[in-house]
Amino acid sequence: MQALSEERLRAVIRGSSAEAGAVPRVVVSGNGATPRCLLQAVEASLPAYRLFMLNAHQGLPDRPDVVHETCFVGPGMRRSPTLSYVPARLSLVPRLFTTTLAPDIVCLNVAPLFDGAFSMGTEVNILPAAVEACRARGGMVIAQVNARMPWTYGDGQLDPDLADFVVEADEPLDEPHPAEPDEASKQIGDLVAARVPDGATLQLGIGMVPDAALSGLARRRGLTVWSELFSDGVLTLDEAGALDPGATVTGSFVLGSQRLYSWLDRNPRVQVLRTEAVNSPARISAHHAMTSINTALQVDLFGQANASRINARIHSGFGGQTDFIVGALHSAGGQALMALRSWHPKADTSSIVAMVDEPVTSFQHTAVVTEQGVAEMFGSDERAQAANLIERAAHPRIRDELWEEAAALGLA
């Protein structure tokens, strides 16, 4: 490990690029933990490169010589003209670093040394695999030591010897500010919460529906969390006494408020693990009453969900949805819930459709939940599934049309 100034780091990056003689791939922490100081150094030093990030936020370099590469598209890459989207379940992304997406440089945002190690903090995810693959092929690992990054237990601890260079630069982490749940989201949240028993294991995402489910979930007891992402909702549940005080809160990355980040710092109750562990369907299924709560853009009468594309344009990606749906369905007492509005107000269209015309993200959910009600899916025949979706999940204004479509598809 060698400590460098930002100016010296730029010279080192330029030198490594000249030696490589090809367009390098740079893997950078995403999900609100972007090491912006390092990204600026990369941008100032490389004439061309491939920038790999998961769920990249705004403020990325956007010139033609920078290819935006990802397996999950965030707002910073969503409309990029250079976007290179690589479809992959999140649990399988680490394999790509040893095959088609080998990294030349890895840039990390880490907490200062504690107990002899840095910590990747809020963003562990696919980064340990990226570091391992990069070092195995003689690449460069650079750490931005950031006092604003919480130090977390789990798989994100980084031995200083594994970082070739470090730069000290304190920067705030991104803090999302989700809108207050509207009436439809509150209704969905109440229906979701009603299905969660005491002692269940939760996969909680971020957004209006998970936030809206908190009031009902706060009354539960003995809950545990095994979730790809968790946000302030987990802190709310903990303060309400809903979480099992003897159980570990487990995630792969964290995105929330400064209050959450402060709670996270050096908290032994929390484990932030690598993606291969958290998103393993086998490990997910081992949890009692695993309840996976996901959302989609559309669900069709065959129970197929599109959560990735709008008008053939990639909007996000598979993410961990497929991992958690499969894992939850194999859990004893588990359930995979698809929660969404019945009607998209901006697009003025139904989210329950006859057949999705985009690639399918997931299918075979336990139930589909909208503000209209709960459509039971798993274990029913296809006609019953379609009828449940139409009568219990679809908006009333589209039901007659859906019945006609169902008849044409042989579902009625």
For residue 39, how many C-alpha atoms fall within 13 Å in the half-sphere facing its CB?
A: 24
The active-site residue, picked from 19, 43, 69, 228, is 228
Burial 349-387 (b: 16+ CB within 10 A, else e): ebbbbbebebebbbbebbbbbbbbbbbbbeeeeeeebbb
Residue 402, burial from CB neighbour count under 10 angstroms (0-12, 13-18, 19+) = buried
User: Which of 117, 122, 120, 98 has the alpha carbon at shortest distance from 107?
Assistant: 120
Q: Using CA atoms, how far apart are residues 37 and 326, in angstroms rounded to an integer?
A: 39
Q: Using CA atoms, how far apart are residues 173 and 265, in angstroms rounded to an integer?
A: 13
- Contact assessment for residue 236 and residue 218, using Cβ atoms and an 8 Å cutoff: yes
CA–chain centroid gap for 301, Å, is 27
- Contact assessment for residue 104 and residue 69, using Cβ atoms and an 8 Å cutoff: no
- Contact assessment for residue 170 and residue 147, using Cβ atoms and an 8 Å cutoff: yes
Q: Using CA atoms, how far apart are residues 146 and 134, in angstroms rounded to an integer?
A: 22
Q: Using CA atoms, how far apart are residues 53 and 32, in angstroms rounded to an integer?
A: 11
Q: Using CA atoms, how far apart are residues 412 and 406, in angstroms rounded to an integer?
A: 5
Q: Using CA atoms, how far apart are residues 172 and 36, in angstroms rounded to an integer?
A: 10
> What are 384's two structure tokens?
């019953």
Please confirm, yes or no, whether 228 is among the known catalytic residues.
Answer: yes
> What are 278's two structure tokens?
């958290």
Q: Using CA atoms, how far apart are residues 375 and 354, in angstroms rounded to an integer?
A: 15
- Contact assessment for residue 297 and residue 351, using Cβ atoms and an 8 Å cutoff: yes
The residues annotated with a catalytic role in the active site are 228
